[in-house]
């Protein structure tokens, strides 16, 4: 059976208004991501990686083109509708963790489930906290946790709603080598075990190489797609 297409873009672009006029920061991009696939978006700083990720996650609106998430047309939605789709299908992990400082680790993880009205929010949060190896830190606040622990809480929070797609912006960017290894292992375990589509932005070539495909961005354009097989990469020219 052919895998379901979870993300489909057809010429999506992003233009912003500056004091000098219109500036196109993302040129038309087209590609597809299958359900359960792992994708790395790579490229130099300023190449458009994070802008593309924000569009795919519904955190920002496309200026032109078509974007479909699990078959739903994002370009036809208003902000409230995009927020509903994000809540139902999308998880997001930020480089800076973005935890609520006044909430414990457990409460941070419970938050999305409580907003969604789940009756099992606490039980689900405790289960995921154990899954990421932090059940002994449930009552600790973010400032009492290490960077690696905070990122694991952020990942647990992203997964509590059982998203079909997990977006991660430099998930290991603020971590040392030991914690980066733990986070990488956790992300790919969750990707495989939950069949969650994983799309991440990274500067780390090792992390990017662990993904099934790499989308190489350059000056706002998608230049190449690299497929990974047995640690050997074949470059496929785009469009």
36-91: per-residue pLDDT in tens? Answer: 999 999 999 889 999 999 999 988 999 999 999 999 999 889 888 988 888 889 98
Per-residue confidence (pLDDT) for residue 230, from 0 to 100: 38
Q: What is the DSSP letter of 4?
A: P
The closest alpha carbon to 52, from 200, 207, 198, belongs to: 200
Q: State what percent of residues in the chain have pLDDT above 90.
A: 54
Q: Which fold has domain 5-237?
A: Rossmann fold (3.40.50)
Which residue has better confidence, 226 or 122?
Answer: 122
CA separation, residue 192 to residues 38, 59, 153 (Å):
9, 25, 19
Decide if pLDDT at 132 tops 60.
Answer: yes
Q: Residue 106 has which token pair?
A: 């457990």
Residues 6+ apart with CB under 8 A from 46: none
What mean pLDDT is predicted for residues 191-206?
90
Helical (H) or strand (E) element with 128: helix 121-131
Task: Please give the sequence-ordered ranges of beta strands (E in DSSP) within the chain, or none if there are none.
Answer: 5-18, 21-34, 38-42, 64-69, 72-73, 90-93, 165-169, 197-201, 213-218, 221-229, 232-237
Taking the C-alpha atoms of residue 217 and residue 147, their distance in angstroms, rounded to an integer, is 28
Decide if pLDDT at 186 tops 50.
Answer: yes
What mean pLDDT is predicted for residues 218-232?
75
Helical (H) or strand (E) element with 180: helix 177-193
Per-residue confidence (pLDDT) for residue 190, from 0 to 100: 82
- Strand 38-42 to 213-218 pairing: parallel
């Amino acid at each position: 059976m052919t895998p379901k297409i979870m993300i489909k873009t057809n010429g999506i672009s992003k233009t912003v208004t500056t004091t000098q006029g219109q500036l196109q920061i993302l040129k038309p991009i087209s590609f597809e991501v299958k359900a359960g696939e792992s994708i790395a978006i790579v490229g130099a700083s300023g190449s458009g990686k994070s802008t593309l990720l924000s569009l795919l996650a519904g955190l920002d609106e496309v200026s032109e083109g078509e974007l479909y998430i699990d078959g739903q047309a994002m370009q036809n939605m208003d902000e409230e509708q995009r927020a509903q789709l994000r809540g139902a299908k999308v998880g997001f992990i930020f480089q800076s963790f973005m935890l609520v400082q006044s909430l414990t680790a457990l409460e941070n993880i419970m938050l999305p489930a409580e907003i969604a009205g789940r009756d099992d929010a606490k039980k689900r949060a405790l289960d995921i906290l154990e899954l990421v190896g932090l059940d002994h830190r449930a009552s600790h606040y973010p400032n009492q946790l290490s960077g690696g622990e905070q990122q694991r809480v952020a990942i647990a929070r992203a997964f509590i709603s059982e998203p079909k797609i997990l977006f991660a912006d430099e998930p290991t960017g603020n971590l040392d080598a030991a914690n980066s290894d733990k986070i990488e292992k956790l992300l790919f375990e969750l990707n495989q075990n939950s069949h969650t589509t994983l799309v991440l932005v990274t500067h780390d070539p090792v992390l990017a190489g662990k993904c099934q495909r790499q989308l190489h961005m350059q000056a706002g354009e998608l230049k190449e797609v690299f497929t990974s097989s047995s640690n050997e990469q074949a470059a496929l020219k785009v469009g």
